[in-house]
A and B are shown apart, each in its own frame.
Chain A
Amino acid sequence: MSTLLDCNKACKVKVVKINAKSDLKQRLISFGIMKEADIEVLEHAPGKSTIEIKVANMRIALRAEEANMIEVQKI
């Protein structure tokens, strides 16, 4: 299963599962990152330490560790 971190720039994916602890999961959900949500990877920071994604109409920055918790599927 691939995660959001494996995605290249401009790649569009659907969230399958979030492997985070409850409070982080809540946080991600409140940003619209939840099962079935469509995500587009917009940009990587130097060294891929942080990535920028687009969910619904919003841009969100995530650190590599968090991106790695989000299992996705290509669409």
Chain B
Amino acid sequence: MNEMVGKACPVIANHIKIALVGQPNVGKSMLINSVSNAHLHVGNFSGVTVDKTEVLFDYGDYHFTVVDLPGTYAFTDYTIEERVTHEYLCTQSYDLIINVVDSTNLAKNLQLSSELMSMNKNVVIALNMSDEAEKEGINIDSEYMSELLGIPCVKVSAATKMGIEDLLEAIIKVKEQESQNAKLIFSEPVEEEIAQIVWYLEKHKYGAKNTYRNVAINLLKNNKQTYQRIHDNPIWIELQPILVEATKHIELHHDSDDIKEAFAEEYASFNRGIVAEVIKEEKKAEKKTLTEKIDSILIHQMFGIPIFLFFMWSLFQLTFEIGAIPMDYIDGFFGWFGDTIGATISNDDIRSLVVDGIIAGVGAVVLFVPNIIILFIGISLLESTGYMSRVAFLLDGFFHKFGLHGQSFIPLVTGFGCSIPAYMSARILKNDRDRLLTLFIIGFMSCGARLPVYVLFAGAFFSPEMAGNVLFIIYISGALMGLAAAKVLKLTAFKGVDEPFVMEMPKYRLPSAKLIWHTVLTKTMMYLKKAGTFIAAAAMLIWFLSNYPKNLILEESYASKIEIAVDAKEKIVLENELAKSLLEQSYLGTIGKFSEPIFEPLGFDWKMSVALQTGLAAKEVVVSTLGVLYSLGADVDEENNSLKDAISSQISFASAISFIVVIMIYLPCLAASIVFTKEAGGIRYFFYLFAFTSITAYVMAFIAYNIALLFG
């Protein structure tokens, strides 16, 4: 069944469209992955899937379409992602719902299931993580549960692929039977009111797609759509007083003035009943679970934050230390590769294009693959173990002081990998103001593509022992600047009341090596693919812009000078001078010279100014531009063949600091800017972001430059 992912649908096959629904972090995406061999992103915190994703596969005689919907605790439309799910379930057409529940926490998960059961749709419950539940001594009698609820309940485990075929068989059976009769029973007073409304609807033969019982439940629950439909019907006049009375009775019974709360209690007690019937829990002596033991250390009141900082520090140390090991080999390989290829090309221009343009540009980016891999491993560990939510817990108080929500932490950390998923994961924030504020400062969290620039400069200006610390300082100070920026924005543009912070802390899970491997591999391949396509094209463009227009008069005048020169040293000096003047009068040189006055107060030469501007397309291009520009100018001098050496000899320390500051703050890459604009909800936000980041970057870099000048 697994090989047929994405295969075109045969004409004879029947089609089953499934909506996959469940509370956050119950393993919905993982279940799809194990059913269909797809590779959806999986993490251990709520809000990994923020938009619906469709996966196609074949099983038996059927062609399946599964729509993976964002996790939702209940139909309260609390966050954007919950709204996506609720809207989809109410308005789209599909054959049935698979409700994925976490077997280790059935009572809480059934809260959503019972809401689904009153929707008049066919439901199949997938009791996920059954293996884990059994280990914890929780035994669920799934057959008895199916009987009690009137809907099939199947034990599965997405992690071990247990029960997947049973689940698919159950789905097919439900599809072939068509209608289903879910049994959801409320307390006696509520049942009485439902019966009365049903009796009334029957009497008037009210035409509804839904069963009368469900219409009655929805009316009592104040469901807007149901009200809208029935409101235009003449029976409304008589129905209204009945409903008012019924609501009063129920509220009285529950001693509450909120009918929704009353129904939540109804559902809860129904669920408690179900759980008591179907679960046989082996009573273990009450001892702390592993998660609680780990938590007592990792979120300790005193040690929690230092431990977190230590983890981050180690990550950046490793990124630099281990990443540096294969670097010399990669560097050497591209040097050798360039020379070998260069030797086979006789045409000067083409050789220069291939060696100085493409190979130097792409090589400069590929050089940082080891660093990128380590960073991605770190982030995917953070995501998949469950530690992420702990850090949100630890930092919420601190974040709150800066006007940020504790849950902003999740998009912000994702931002260390890549800004694009970070912008999307900001959807877990309920409040639009909080979300916009978070979107604006995600860019301060330096993404993986900026890492090469930092590694390059840290390596060029600091000793290898210090470089890891420098990286850590860059990332932390970027984050701190982000917090300060958040405070400023909160006090000016995004004033408003604070949103509540209520967040689930998932169980710790040891991530499978396969999962980590897959996530890291996908991201690394994306990086390499980008290097091979987009970056290579950009490098060619930059090579062209830096080599043309040709200036024959200049070349000839130098050629004659070089010929007269007797001393070999003098020849090299003259050759360097020629290369420099040729570069300066090229298109790129003209652009650089034109923008140089703007960047002069920050200590940039025109090459750095150009690299910054090309970096607007993608941050990797900064390094490849520097690679092309400095290799063209400095190739003649044999001793300075690596980019790192070229930079440390041609750029002053203060200029380097100021350059790093600009890279840290200014606009994210083109692709990220597009996603930002979409998520923020309008092009005007892009212009705000552009103005905000540019001004901040300029001012901060100016300050940093002048401070560095004082010390340096």
List chain A positions with a Cβ less than 8 A from chain B: 20, 22-32, 34-35, 42-47, 49-50, 52, 55-63, 65-66
* Interface residue? B143 (CB, 8 A): no
* Interface residue? B295 (CB, 8 A): yes
Residues A27 and B76 in contact, CB atoms below 8 Å apart:
yes
Assembled-state Cα–Cα distance A32/B267 (Å): 11
Segment at the interface with A among B500-508, B547-555, B566-574: B500-508
Q: Contacts A43-B296, A44-B301, A66-B501 given; indicate if A32 touches B107 (C-beta within 8 A).
A: yes
Chain A residues with Cβ below 8 Å from B616 are none
Chain A residues with Cβ below 8 Å from B268 are 29, 32, 34
Partner of A26, one of B74, B104, B291, B305: B74
Assembled-state Cα–Cα distance A52/B265 (Å): 23
List chain B positions with a Cβ less than 8 A from chain A: 73-74, 76, 78, 104-105, 107-108, 111-112, 256, 258, 260-261, 264-265, 268, 291-292, 295-296, 299-302, 304-305, 389, 392-394, 396-398, 400, 406, 498, 500-505
Assembled-state Cα–Cα distance A13/B268 (Å): 18
Partner of B505, one of A22, A30, A61, A65: A61
Assembled-state Cα–Cα distance A26/B296 (Å): 29
Q: Contacts A30-B264, A52-B299, A58-B504 given; indicate if A63 touches B76 (C-beta within 8 A).
A: no
Q: Contacts A61-B389, A61-B503, A66-B502 given; indicate if A29 touches B397 (C-beta within 8 A).
A: no
Residues B397 and A46 in contact, CB atoms below 8 Å apart:
yes
Q: Which residue of A lies closest to B138 (CB)?
A: A57
Assembled-state Cα–Cα distance A17/B446 (Å): 44
Residues A49 and B400 in contact, CB atoms below 8 Å apart:
yes
Chain B residues with Cβ below 8 Å from A58 are 105, 108, 504
Residues A45 and B393 in contact, CB atoms below 8 Å apart:
yes
Residues B396 and A50 in contact, CB atoms below 8 Å apart:
yes
Q: Which residue of A lies closest to B254 (CB)?
A: A35
Chain A residues with Cβ below 8 Å from B296 are 43
Chain B proximity of A31: nearest CB distance (Å):
6
Chain B residues with Cβ below 8 Å from A30 are 73-74, 76, 78, 111-112, 264
Residues B505 and A66 in contact, CB atoms below 8 Å apart:
no
Assembled-state Cα–Cα distance A23/B291 (Å): 30
Q: Contacts A26-B76, A34-B264, A34-B268 given; indicate if A43 touches B301 (C-beta within 8 A).
A: yes
Q: Which residue of B lies closest to A18 (CB)?
A: B261
Residues A56 and B108 in contact, CB atoms below 8 Å apart:
yes
Q: Contacts A26-B74, A26-B264, A34-B261 given; indicate if A60 touches B396 (C-beta within 8 A).
A: no
Q: Which residue of A lies closest to B115 (CB)?
A: A30
Chain A residues with Cβ below 8 Å from B105 are 56-58
Chain B residues with Cβ below 8 Å from A22 are 258, 260
5 pairs of A and B residues whose beta carbons are closest in the complex: A49-B397, A30-B74, A63-B501, A30-B73, A59-B505
Q: Which residue of B lies closest to A37 (CB)?
A: B268
Residues B260 and A26 in contact, CB atoms below 8 Å apart:
yes
Assembled-state Cα–Cα distance A47/B400 (Å): 12
Chain A residues with Cβ below 8 Å from B305 are 46
Assembled-state Cα–Cα distance A50/B393 (Å): 7
Chain B residues with Cβ below 8 Å from A44 are 301
Chain B residues with Cβ below 8 Å from A27 are 73, 76, 78, 500, 502
Chain B residues with Cβ below 8 Å from A59 are 291, 295, 504-505
Residues A49 and B258 in contact, CB atoms below 8 Å apart:
no
Assembled-state Cα–Cα distance A23/B264 (Å): 13
Chain B residues with Cβ below 8 Å from A23 are 76, 78
Chain B residues with Cβ below 8 Å from A63 are 396, 400, 406, 500-502
Q: Which residue of A lies closest to B292 (CB)?
A: A42
Assembled-state Cα–Cα distance A49/B405 (Å): 12
Assembled-state Cα–Cα distance A22/B77 (Å): 12
Q: Contacts A46-B394, A46-B397 given; indicate if A57 touches B502 (C-beta within 8 A).
A: no
Q: Which residue of B lies closest to A33 (CB)?
A: B502
Chain B residues with Cβ below 8 Å from A65 are 498, 500
Residues A52 and B295 in contact, CB atoms below 8 Å apart:
yes
Residues A50 and B406 in contact, CB atoms below 8 Å apart:
yes
Of the candidates A22, A28, A43, the one having the most CB atoms from chain B within 10 angstroms of its own CB is A43
A to B CB contacts below 8 Å, 27 in the list: A25-B260, A25-B261, A26-B260, A29-B268, A30-B76, A32-B111, A35-B265, A43-B301, A46-B394, A49-B396, A49-B397, A50-B397, A50-B406, A50-B501, A52-B295, A52-B299, A56-B105, A56-B108, A58-B504, A59-B505, A60-B502, A61-B389, A61-B502, A62-B502, A63-B396, A66-B500, A66-B501
Give 18 A-B pairs besides A56-B105, A59-B505 with Cβ atoms closer than 8 angstroms: A25-B260, A27-B76, A30-B74, A31-B73, A32-B268, A43-B295, A45-B393, A46-B304, A47-B397, A49-B396, A49-B400, A50-B406, A57-B105, A58-B504, A59-B504, A61-B393, A62-B502, A66-B501
Residues A32 and B108 in contact, CB atoms below 8 Å apart:
yes
Chain A residues with Cβ below 8 Å from B108 are 31-32, 55-58
Q: Contacts A46-B397, A49-B397 given; indicate if A60 touches B505 (C-beta within 8 A).
A: yes
Chain B residues with Cβ below 8 Å from A62 are 501-502
Q: Which residue of A lies closest to B506 (CB)?
A: A59
Q: Contacts A30-B264, A61-B406 given; indicate if A52 touches B393 (C-beta within 8 A).
A: yes
Assembled-state Cα–Cα distance A35/B262 (Å): 10
Assembled-state Cα–Cα distance A27/B406 (Å): 17
Assembled-state Cα–Cα distance A25/B107 (Å): 18
Assembled-state Cα–Cα distance A32/B102 (Å): 15
Q: Which residue of B lies closest to A49 (CB)?
A: B397
Assembled-state Cα–Cα distance A21/B482 (Å): 32
Of the candidates B265, B301, B500, the one having the most CB atoms from chain A within 10 angstroms of its own CB is B500
Q: Which residue of B lies closest to A66 (CB)?
A: B500
Chain A residues with Cβ below 8 Å from B389 are 61
Assembled-state Cα–Cα distance A1/B583 (Å): 78
Residues A60 and B504 in contact, CB atoms below 8 Å apart:
yes
Residues B503 and A60 in contact, CB atoms below 8 Å apart:
yes
Chain A residues with Cβ below 8 Å from B76 are 23, 26-27, 30
Q: Which residue of A lies closest to B72 (CB)?
A: A30
Chain B residues with Cβ below 8 Å from A49 are 396-398, 400
Chain B residues with Cβ below 8 Å from A46 are 301-302, 304-305, 394, 397
Chain B residues with Cβ below 8 Å from A28 are 502
Chain B proximity of A63: nearest CB distance (Å):
4
Assembled-state Cα–Cα distance A13/B219 (Å): 35
Chain B proximity of A51: nearest CB distance (Å):
9
Assembled-state Cα–Cα distance A23/B261 (Å): 10
Chain A residues with Cβ below 8 Å from B260 are 22, 25-26
Residues A42 and B406 in contact, CB atoms below 8 Å apart:
no
Residues B261 and A29 in contact, CB atoms below 8 Å apart:
yes
Q: Contacts A26-B78, A30-B74 given; indicate if A45 touches B396 (C-beta within 8 A).
A: yes
Q: Contacts A46-B304, A49-B400 given; indicate if A56 touches B107 (C-beta within 8 A).
A: yes
Assembled-state Cα–Cα distance A11/B361 (Å): 61
Chain B residues with Cβ below 8 Å from A56 are 105, 107-108
Assembled-state Cα–Cα distance A66/B502 (Å): 8
Chain A residues with Cβ below 8 Å from B504 are 31, 58-61
Q: Which residue of A lies closest to B305 (CB)?
A: A46
Assembled-state Cα–Cα distance A57/B265 (Å): 18
Assembled-state Cα–Cα distance A22/B500 (Å): 13
